[in-house]
Structure 1
Amino acid sequence: MTDDKTMNITRLLTVFLLALWVLAGEPTRAQELRGPSPLGQYFGFRPVEIFKLERRSSNLLARDLDRDGLVDLVLADNSHSRIDYLRQRKKKPDVAAAADFDEDINQVKNDWRFEHRKIPVDRQVAALVAGDFNGDGRPDLAYLGTPNYLVVRFQPKDGEWSEKVEFRIPDINPIRGSLVTGDLDGNGRSDLVVLGKFETFIYYQSKDGKLGTPRLLMNTSAQLGLAIVGDLDGDGREDLCYATVESQKRSFCARLQDKTGRLGPEVRFELPAHRDVRLQDIDGRRGQELVVVESSTNRVKLLKVQGPAADGDGPKTKQRLIQYGFGRQGAARTEQLRDVATGDVDGDGRTDVLVSDPAGARVIVFRQRPTGGLDLGTAFPGLEDTRHVKIGNVDGAAGNEGVVVSVKEKTLGISQMANGRLGFPKPLAVTGSPLACELVNLDGKPGPEIVYFAKPAGAGATCWGPWRRERTVNFPPAPSENGPQVPVPVKGTPQYLVAFDANLEGGLTCWFSRISNSHQVDDRAGRRRNESGARQWGKSSWGVLTRASCLSADSRNSRSWWHSRNLPATSR
């Protein structure tokens, strides 16, 4: 037993002495295992370089601002009301920077690589982009300053960044993702885009390097963000992309640039629920890929937008809804009263679209382009609470007119297109307060007559008609005495008045509708009929579907109207 204890003690002493011998050996041999590996030249990273920032620093950009071939860093420091310009040096300076007199021995020093330059600002920076905004070849800076300013700071050849220009923009939400830059008209110069609440503001840069009056695009939603610019469809032209949120569901939208350098209507794509999306060229082919960060899994997905197949080969492009925005919106109850009409309003032989704006006292004109498709719409002043709009040649002169009804102003008016502008409606003398109207050709002669609903003082709604024009191209001061005047005992305000051949007898029928109410039908001779079996229109939307096109105004989402082509004959 004693021998076993002696043997164990001897072994422990031997191990202890060996450990002391290793620790007391040459230092170089003890540190060789922790020295640089010969494989470090093939993979790995260099030591971490630290440059300290402030807590309220944001909007970090990586861009070669001084054009020396090295990437610089730019970010906003709202805690000190400045923009930090971290200029990258080519080599370590010979003289180290002077240390602060109160420098702590444990304080982490900044690395030598970046030279810290400061650009003072007088507004809090919410979004920051870089680009050449005056055509001098030097990158400049543009930022959104709270509450509603777009500020462009031009880079000088030498000295301070003192030259700047400011634009005050109404109704914007200054957050990151609301400002983006890119060449959106194909002239090779950088433009600026600001996403507003109701309109998108595009500041195009002219050939002489000036940022002029912004071009306004009416939004389809009040919640646009994550704006990016890139070649989405692979045609070599940069497109405007952004995300929108409706009913707590986020969608990815794009406005594609056409051959003429103009942005088109909004096209929406189905993406998984995401919290961030970027455009990046991954495969080296034409068109950039979508880099999507999923909200549920935080995984990164790469998606590619397919362009049209060449010569019928490859996958076919999927038909998508094309949306046109209305811009500023009113209350939900008012938005349900929008009306839409189609016809040639500018006399070029192509079908255009008119949309009423009851809350904004406007009429929006979407004119068809010579190359096909509609423009992005132009709003013209009109009557307040314009609920009905029709298109037709009602005055006998060349060209069509727009006929509108304002319930609040108790006016039935006619607007004419001249010099590219829709004139203010000229009121017609009517008996009572107009509620709805329709254009009907009752006498078989060229041009329709105006049939309208009016509500006399202290009486129920009455259908007056027809409203005939005279040979002098003027309208009489009152409805024709020979025309039928049919009392219609309904409660409330009729929503629509539609003319068509309901009984298939060759005569026109006027069909008026109230939401969630039965329909009343009046035929050409003025006889009233109750159609108990009449088809009820939907409570929330109305529409017409044909083989060639589909046009709908949806009161559930009345911020936009949509148009889709090549629908099958069985679509309903």
Structure 2
Amino acid sequence: MKTHLTGRARSVLLGSTCCLLLVASGLDAQLFDTLKSLSPRLPVGDPALPASSRGPKSIAAADLDGDGLSDLAVSDKSGSVTLYYSNGSQGFSAPIILQVENAELRAIIAVDVNHDGKIDLLVASPFTGKVHVLLNQGGRKFEDHPFPAWVGARDLAVGDFNGDGTPDLAVAGPNMGLRQYEGLGDGTFASVVSFPEVDGGACGTGDDLPQPAYFLQSFRAPTQTRDSLVIAHGQGCARLWVLGSPPSGQLAILSTLSNLDVNAIAVGPILNPVASGIPDLVTSSLDGGYVEVRALIASTGTFADIPAQRIPISGGPRSLRMVDWDRDGWNDLAVVIRFFDRVTLYTNTAGQLKPGASVPVGHLPREMDIGDFNGDQQMDLAVVNRYSLDVTVVPGFLGQASFASLDQVYPVDGTVTGLSVRDYNNDGRADVVQLHIASGELSVRLSGADGHLAAPVFYPLGVRPSAQAVTDVNNDKQPDIVAVDLSGSVSVRLGQPDGTFGPEQRYVLPASLGGSLYAVVAADFDNDGNIDLAAGYTDCRLIFLRGDGHGNFTPAGDYDHPLYFGYEARSMAAADLDGDGDLDLVGAGMDGKITVVENEGNLLTTHRLKLKTFDSPGLQDIRSIEVLDENKDGDWDLFVTGPSGNALFLGGKGLEFSLAEKESFKVDVSGTASVMGDFDGDGKVDLAVADSHSNTLSLFVRKNDSSPWELALITAVPSAAFLASGDIDGDGKPDLVGSGEVLWTALSSRRSRVVPSAGEETGHAVMDQVVINEFLASNLTLPLDADGGRTSDWIELFNGSSVGLGLQGWSLQLIRETAPGESTTNTFAFPATAVLNAKGRLMVVAADKKRTPLHTGFAIPAEGGTLVLRGKQGQVVDRVDYPAQDADHSYCRFRDGARGWVVNPFPSPNQPNLDNGTAAPKLSFEGIDAPTARPGIPVRFRAKGRDDLGITTISVHWHRLDIQESVDHRAILFDDGLHGDGASQDGSFSGTLEAGLPAGARIQFYLQASDLTDKSIYAPFKPEQSLAVADRSLFTLSIEAAPTTLEISEVVPSNKNGLKDEAGRNPDWVEIRNIGVEKVELDGVKLAKKPYGADRYAFPKGLSLGPGDYAVVFCDAGRTPGIWHASFELDPGGDELFLLSVDGNGDVQILDNAKFGAVGSDIAWARPSAGAPLQILSPTPYASNRPGLWIGLLGGRAELILGTMIGEIYHLETSPTLTPAAWKTVLEIAGDGHDVNMRLDQESARFYRLR
């Protein structure tokens, strides 16, 4: 069956990079033109579809229209193929969307399959089990001739496997592995042979359609007349197969390489010149952080087991492409760096690959292809960006081993957390200052006459500076820098007239005011003529610091704790909002609320802030706030923006604000930074909004003060985390400056010039001494050459001075806490032979056994501790207090000898410390409080999180599945000590669904943790499709109408001499009981330490508990086989258990939970009555925890002690017979959580029951 696909062109104007909408005349064309040229990114997929339904998957570059220029075809999650036809130096055509399927597409390749001289497209559809053959009809039209493969077929490669000159096809995917198809020359294919041995299931990886991904490529060795094939797949198979083709033309496995971690494959000459035709095998390891090159074994047609080269590459190397970039006769290698959003070119010098030029691309790059897109006879790159939903085109620089870049785009490192554009050296041109949290520095770039920025000058500033303010703190009319720090300090550097900065002045908060600071506003809050500070914590608190006019700041009030302000107010501003002459404070929270603090003249000394809060419906994670008089009524208004949109609040009387109608903006836009200025030269203020999630900039203009804002331009930019404006080129017009992954300027005087891409920033400050430089405290899988390949911990020293040192008499100490207030110290003395050269490194092995003089004799605890380096006189040379460490992640200085410390996912013993970016936050879902998982009660969620820089927010994203609703919901979890979460900033988070859920409700949810650099991690994951679509892999919760009668009644976490199991052992145990009057079936009932963990104990099928019955589960990690043994153990130092009901759909109902503290051996934590809190009691397995519940029947009197639950109503009924109609209620009891003692006088035999 054939289908004609003509596609539909999207009605947008594309400059090569953007959607441009001009709505006003007189625009400054130069600034707009400069903006459009900054980032060559092309949107993919139908923009009419929601982002959750789109996502580019694969890319092919080829000349589809026969004009000699490479065009682009990109397959998409939505089932479409996006086509871009090259217009040479003018960029690309408008996108053409071919709707091929109604299901997700994967691999796409371009080849002429029917010998008509036109390039066709083949694309795989794994969920429908088809391969679509899109035959090129010319005129930008295609005809689809799909053929059936199998459900799971997802990856493709072409090659002439039978030597007949017609392209054949290799198809790979789960449920089959690999299948060869013969090309018949007319666009059809015939199945030849299958290879189920390369299927993911055969590797034991557990396929999850459409996973795992397969990587395959054909190649031809010299003297051969048929193509061979290499194939591997990810997700843990660790094998690669090489297949050759005998004269029959049917592929056969020639060899299998083991212990390879493969995430991409490229085959071609690397170790030899291109002209040799000798192919090598290049593979990348995403998690391992390296690329390997293996030589061809000519005699067998396979590749060597041992790599000829292993090149360490930080940031997750992904896609690979070979091309002779500099035309020296040797193939170079382009590598996508997935987690750094970059492409790096590794240049080839006589068979040796070395890192070269590197350029930023879009968000989460994956696949890549090459072609000449602009007609300059130099190969270019096109990179698929999964999360930003686009393609980045990276031009090559003609004749050089470099990419073409723009002179208005500058490299940055050190993780930017602040951007300021001001004239610092008084030359009439604005300069650029950036704050770097990872390196603990301030960088200054002075502007030149043509607006070009000079190389950065770095100044140490703080430890982990998180936010900055630029103001004149010492009244000399020179801008100074004030920075707040996650370490709980404030740093100041005074500006000098020549653009330099004076020495750092640092103030550390006292312990009572301690905490991580990450927001700051500088203003004169007490009207004394000196600048003061308002500093926000990474929770809900705020502190004011009084300035003395000399650059010194101290707490303004006599309060002994910070003040409550608003949740995570990352954006703050000061203005006289009520017109009383005092500067007020406004903050925009990550919860979408606007909080205004009224200054009544005592703002610096008050113990309680006067707050007003305003909601911004639907707006979350507010990142930017602008104070403006929008409607020119003399009252200040507020414009706020965040990833979920923007809002305008109009000021009224006093501190009143009202949410403006959406008509103020004709187009809604989201963003993470904003700035105002006259960018189009019409004399009216415009608004620029940058969005770091899509790396786009939107520019709004208006015809007059009363007209709505209209979108004049939306364009891709190289980075968009920060945005500022100033006159960089000195022409009297405002320019735009953005920063994040890179720094860029958009000048009003000229367009960017094409230059070779620049290298990394240099000139970082290095400590002029010996320092502890890097260490690995939890080495599980990384062999250490210095210890015979063992996975030992290690510590690296670095000498930042210009003089070599002998370390005889020096020592290294480890201090570890053994109990609160108690610690132990281990000391290693350096041997007399230990020498540390100038700018050199020395590594010691932290292992229990001292195998060499440079073995410490002790390991480093991963739980956290202190390392102290002491000199010959015992003096402290360096000291590092380090937090808990993750496995195979080192803790290191940002660069060798730098002050800032970062978590490094790619440890580098005895190698330079590189900027490997910041680590993603850590997130652990701890569960839901069982008593709150009831109808109408706010459900309380708990989580733990940590990050090397600081977590800004943890939230629960949820959606009800039992009803039809159009929106997802979000609940914030707090770590401020005010929301039942424990101590402030202790890493324990808690929050509730405030409204509660009704009986019968079913919700589906996941958690998100984000840090200061906007990196996020999800638990269990972030779904690609809508949260309204049921997905059994996500978390679920069901709210049942009837309360459960099952409870965890007793726990013995250290059983030494008590209850024995069937093997005669004494494992720890848990008892559950039925406190109801009806039998309860235990099918689907589970016991777990975490409600949503995989380690759950399931009660035996068919089991039930009658009224008052007990069951005991042994917790021995399965050491004794049996149906009553769980696969986990209990911690006698304190633990938590959950009793769950899980239905066939995976929906979870939390029946009960028991959290207990430390206890000695043979002691129980038990509930003395139904629903009562756990108490320490003597163990009573299979029996009541309170002996004597029934006191007895003496003299016609019975005594019953009933343990009650809060909110429950109990009915005691009696009857002389068991006839149903004879039962009568004699007592009604309202439960209050305590025991009720009931005495019953008897005259004759009677029956009693409780309901």
Instruction: Report the TM-score when normalising by structure 2.
Output: 0.26
Q: 1:74 aligns with which of 217, 221, 229?
A: 229
Question: Matches of 2:583 and 2:328 in 1, distance apart?
Answer: 54
Q: 1:546 is matched with which residue?
A: 677
Question: Matches of 1:347 and 1:84 in 2, distance apart?
Answer: 66
Q: 2:217 aligns with which of 51, 61, 83?
A: 61
- The answer to whether the 8 Å contact 1:438/1:450 transfers is no
Question: Matches of 2:383 and 2:502 in 1, distance apart?
Answer: 34
Aligned-residue CA RMSD (Å): 6.4
- The answer to whether the 8 Å contact 2:701/2:710 transfers is yes
Question: Matches of 1:423 and 1:69 in 2, distance apart?
Answer: 69
Question: Matches of 1:441 and 1:235 in 2, distance apart?
Answer: 57
- The answer to whether the 8 Å contact 2:532/2:553 transfers is no
Report how far residue 525 of structure 1 moved. Answer: 12
| Inter-CA distance 119–455: structure 2 relative to 1 (3 Å threshold) | closer
Q: 1:243 is matched with which residue?
A: 384
Q: 1:517 is matched with which residue?
A: 594
Q: 2:487 is matched with which residue?
A: 409
Question: Matches of 1:141 and 1:423 in 2, distance apart?
Answer: 54
Question: Matches of 1:415 and 1:130 in 2, distance apart?
Answer: 53
Report how far residue 412 of structure 1 moved. Answer: 1.3
Does 2:344 correspond to 1:205?
no
Question: Matches of 2:476 and 2:453 in 1, distance apart?
Answer: 26
Deviation string for 1:60-109 (max 9, x for gaps)? Answer: 4344543x69673332267994542648xxxxxxxxx8xxxxxxxxxxx8
Q: 1:229 is matched with which residue?
A: 370
1:451 partner amino acid: D
Q: 1:354 aligns with which of 426, 430, 434?
A: 434
Report how far residue 409 of structure 1 moved. Answer: 1.9
Report how far residue 193 of structure 1 moved. Answer: 0.5
Q: 2:393 aligns with which of 230, 254, 257?
A: 254
Does 2:467 correspond to 1:388?
yes
Report how far residue 553 of structure 1 moved. Answer: 5.4
Question: Matches of 2:273 and 2:571 in 1, distance apart?
Answer: 58
Question: Matches of 1:235 and 1:60 in 2, distance apart?
Answer: 30
- The answer to whether the 8 Å contact 2:481/2:494 transfers is yes
Does 2:565 correspond to 1:491?
yes
2:338 partner amino acid: G
2:549 partner amino acid: R
Instruction: Report the TM-score when normalising by structure 1.
Output: 0.50
- The answer to whether the 8 Å contact 1:436/1:452 transfers is no
2:637 partner amino acid: R
What SS class does the counterpart of residue 111 from structure 1 fall into? coil
| Inter-CA distance 82–495: structure 2 relative to 1 (3 Å threshold) | closer
1:544 partner amino acid: V
Does 2:533 correspond to 1:452?
yes
Q: 2:242 aligns with which of 79, 84, 100?
A: 84
What SS class does the counterpart of residue 354 from structure 2 fall into? coil
| Inter-CA distance 84–430: structure 2 relative to 1 (3 Å threshold) | closer
Q: 1:129 is matched with which residue?
A: 266
What SS class does the counterpart of residue 536 from structure 1 fall into? strand
| Higher fraction of strand | 2
- The answer to whether the 8 Å contact 2:524/2:532 transfers is no
Question: Matches of 2:676 and 2:552 in 1, distance apart?
Answer: 37
| Inter-CA distance 411–560: structure 2 relative to 1 (3 Å threshold) | farther
Q: 2:308 is matched with which residue?
A: 164
Q: 2:248 is matched with which residue?
A: 110
Report how far residue 518 of structure 1 moved. Answer: 4.0
Report how far residue 110 of structure 1 moved. Answer: 2.7
Deviation string for 1:113-170 (max 9, x for gaps)? Answer: x998658454154421124434633443211357534211245788885452123455
Question: Matches of 2:678 and 2:570 in 1, distance apart?
Answer: 27
| Inter-CA distance 567–537: structure 2 relative to 1 (3 Å threshold) | closer
Question: Matches of 1:393 and 1:208 in 2, distance apart?
Answer: 56
Deviation string for 1:540-564 (max 9, x for gaps)? Answer: 355123333965455xxx5575456
Question: Matches of 2:396 and 2:434 in 1, distance apart?
Answer: 24
Question: Matches of 2:549 and 2:324 in 1, distance apart?
Answer: 53
- The answer to whether the 8 Å contact 1:440/1:450 transfers is yes
- The answer to whether the 8 Å contact 2:332/2:348 transfers is no
Question: Matches of 1:392 and 1:501 in 2, distance apart?
Answer: 18
- The answer to whether the 8 Å contact 1:438/1:499 transfers is yes
2:594 partner amino acid: N
Question: Matches of 1:71 and 1:544 in 2, distance apart?
Answer: 61
Q: 1:27 is matched with which residue?
A: none
1:231 partner amino acid: D
What SS class does the counterpart of residue 197 from structure 1 fall into? helix
What SS class does the counterpart of residue 336 from structure 2 fall into? strand
Question: Matches of 1:124 and 1:118 in 2, distance apart?
Answer: 17
Question: Matches of 1:51 and 1:366 in 2, distance apart?
Answer: 64
| Inter-CA distance 82–402: structure 2 relative to 1 (3 Å threshold) | same
- The answer to whether the 8 Å contact 2:530/2:547 transfers is yes
Report how far residue 190 of structure 1 moved. Answer: 1.6
- The answer to whether the 8 Å contact 1:240/1:254 transfers is yes
Question: Matches of 1:209 and 1:399 in 2, distance apart?
Answer: 54
Question: Matches of 1:215 and 1:156 in 2, distance apart?
Answer: 32
Report how far residue 405 of structure 1 moved. Answer: 1.2
Question: Matches of 1:495 and 1:80 in 2, distance apart?
Answer: 44
Report how far residue 202 of structure 1 moved. Answer: 2.1
Question: Matches of 2:576 and 2:676 in 1, distance apart?
Answer: 18
Report how far residue 205 of structure 1 moved. Answer: 0.9
Task: Give percent identity, aligned residues only.
Answer: 13
Deviation string for 1:363-384 (max 9, x for gaps)? Answer: 7979799897999x99999767
Report how far residue 466 of structure 1 moved. Answer: 4.0
Question: Matches of 2:392 and 2:460 in 1, distance apart?
Answer: 29
| Inter-CA distance 80–194: structure 2 relative to 1 (3 Å threshold) | closer
Q: 2:284 aligns with which of 141, 144, 151?
A: 144
Question: Matches of 2:502 and 2:638 in 1, distance apart?
Answer: 36
Report how far residue 263 of structure 1 moved. Answer: 5.8
Report how far residue 328 of structure 1 moved. Answer: 9.3
| Inter-CA distance 424–185: structure 2 relative to 1 (3 Å threshold) | farther
What SS class does the counterpart of residue 110 from structure 1 fall into? coil
| Inter-CA distance 125–454: structure 2 relative to 1 (3 Å threshold) | closer
Does 2:153 correspond to 1:153?
no
Does 2:637 correspond to 1:535?
yes
Question: Matches of 1:356 and 1:523 in 2, distance apart?
Answer: 36
| Inter-CA distance 110–64: structure 2 relative to 1 (3 Å threshold) | closer
| Inter-CA distance 500–151: structure 2 relative to 1 (3 Å threshold) | same
Question: Matches of 2:440 and 2:361 in 1, distance apart?
Answer: 16
1:179 partner amino acid: L
Gaps of 5+ in 1: 1-43, 88-96, 98-108, 266-321, 330-337, 443-447, 470-474
What SS class does the counterpart of residue 133 from structure 1 fall into? coil
Report how far residue 411 of structure 1 moved. Answer: 1.2
What SS class does the counterpart of residue 217 from structure 2 fall into? strand
1:538 partner amino acid: V
